[in-house]
A and B are shown apart, each in its own frame.
Chain A
């Protein structure tokens, strides 16, 4: 069975500071990993995905994530936070043709 653990249900950063959202996964087969963002009262939007190509994946809005097999991690980063980044972020794992399994989400707050 596959699972995802997101460390920290709430992360708060200052505008312009580094954003780091942590995600660890568990999967018995090579995983596909995803980060999604959910703005208030909206659906989920794909930020980026890892599908066994480059381990450093660049996504939209300046976000990137690095797949580290030895650490079973897929942390999301952004060098400089913007107020518009405030949202809920979900890490998710998929193996084979199974549906996405989501972590519990991390709410990002950006302080002016």
Chain B
């Protein structure tokens, strides 16, 4: 009965490859997010989706493309991976209201070699 689940947990790949990370939430939330955590633990918002529509797209390279088939799923596809993409990627979900906390998945550690 995991609330926010993302797969895979670990992803090791070579530069230039294309990879995807999947995320699903069973909380009935309206909004889903992707955050990137760098090696210094800093968390930065990448994308935010509300009811399958993109509402925030921070300054992220267009090699990163989120896709939301329905409001319970938000996948992240990355083209032409680069060394600098190595990080931990977290999926999260929340209700739309500002006071609602975000619920996070356990993260996907991406290592690009």
**B-binding residues in A (CB < 8 A):** 32, 34, 36, 38, 42-46, 49, 51-52, 88, 90, 94-102, 104-105, 107
Q: In the complex, A90→B44 CA distance in Å?
A: 12
Are B96 and A97 neighbours in the complex by a CB distance under 8 Å? yes
A104 in contact with B45 (CB, 8 Å): no
Task: Determine the interface band of chain B, counting residues with CB < 8 A from chain A.
Answer: 20 to 34
With A43-B90, A43-B104, A43-B105: A95-B98 Cβ-Cβ less than 8 Å: yes
Residues in A neighbouring B105, C-beta threshold 8 A: 43
Closest 4 CB pairs of A and B: A51-B99, A43-B104, A43-B106, A102-B43
Query: Which residues on B sit within 8 Å (CB–CB) of A94?
Result: 98-99
| Distance of A51 from chain B, by nearest CB (Å) | 4
Query: Which chain B positions have C-beta within 8 A of A96?
Result: 98
Interchain CA distance A94-B31 in the complex, whole Å: 14
Contact B98 A100 (CB under 8 A): no
Which interface residue of B4, B42, B43, B103 has the most chain A CB atoms within 10 A? B43
